[in-house]
Amino acid sequence: MVVKHYSMNAHQTFVVVKSGLKVLYVQCPNSNKGCPWKLRATMSNKYNNKWVIKKWDGRYTCMNAMLSQDHNKLDSEWLPIGFLAVEGYTTCSHNFARRLEQFHEISPKIHRWIDGILLEKWSLAHDDKGRRYGHMTTNLSEAVNKILKGARNLPIIALVKCTYARLVEYFIQRLGQANSELAVGQRY
């Protein structure tokens, strides 16, 4: 899945040579023209059924003609790390910490790469402001999730009380913000 996501974002293509429940082998469609790029990953029991890169033949340097205009140094050195850094979607902080520690044990390179990025930018467990990558979402259900952050896994009565209290707090905060904006002459 990470390889597909990368190839769509980077406008790169690859050919699946072999795909199964335990093995993924992809290569550049220009391999018959001499491009050496290949990637082989297997599902590893050693790492709690995570995909592990077993073979990777260097950077992906074949470029889409559209990208070569502006991105003449485009490559995918981060691709193997991307296979492992998919745990940012967990919202439970102790599960996130446990999984992050597993990644740190796998490789020092992965450890340095992950520690070089603020957790708030890529993990939902550390997303206290209800933003992803610093951008507010336009999806209404995601906006409501921001208000309910931290209220998950509560009994129904506690969830209703928590929702009510947070909505009151949110509306009071927005009222103060709107009044201050109107006071300086901003229009709605």
Model pLDDT for residues 166-180, shown as the tens digit of each residue: 889 889 998 999 899
More confident residue, 160 or 188: 160
> How many domains would you assign to the chain?
3
More confident residue, 11 or 66: 11
Provide the domain limits for residue 123.
Answer: 90-136
Band of residue 12 on the pLDDT scale cut at 50, 70, 90? low
Residue 146 contacts residue 130 (beta carbons within 8 Å)? yes
Residue 103 contacts residue 86 (beta carbons within 8 Å)? no
Domain end call among 84, 107, 126 = 84
Q: Are residues 2 and 58 both part of a single domain? A: yes
Band of residue 82 on the pLDDT scale cut at 50, 70, 90? very low
Residue 1 contacts residue 17 (beta carbons within 8 Å)? no
Cβ-based burial of 41 (10 A; exposed 0-12, middle 13-18, buried ≥19)? buried
pLDDT of 95 above 60: yes
32 is a domain residue:
yes
107 is a domain residue:
yes
| Cα(21)–Cα(41) distance, integer angstroms | 11
Q: Which residue, 58, 73, 52, is CA-closest to 10?
A: 73
Return the H-helix or E-strand segment holding 50: strand 50-56
Q: Are residues 69 and 113 both part of a single domain? A: no
Torsion of CA 108, 114, 117, 119, to 10 degrees: -140
Q: Are residues 23 and 71 both part of a single domain? A: yes
Least confident of 2-6, 11-15, 77-81: 77-81
Q: Are residues 132 and 153 both part of a single domain? A: no
Q: Are residues 57 and 130 both part of a single domain? A: no
171 is a domain residue:
yes
Q: Are residues 42 and 101 both part of a single domain? A: no
Q: Are residues 128 and 145 both part of a single domain? A: no
Q: Are residues 132 and 145 both part of a single domain? A: no
Res 36: pLDDT: 76
What mean pLDDT comes out for the span 154-167?
Answer: 83
More confident residue, 103 or 43: 43
Domain end call among 51, 69, 84 = 84
Q: Are residues 67 and 6 both part of a single domain? A: yes
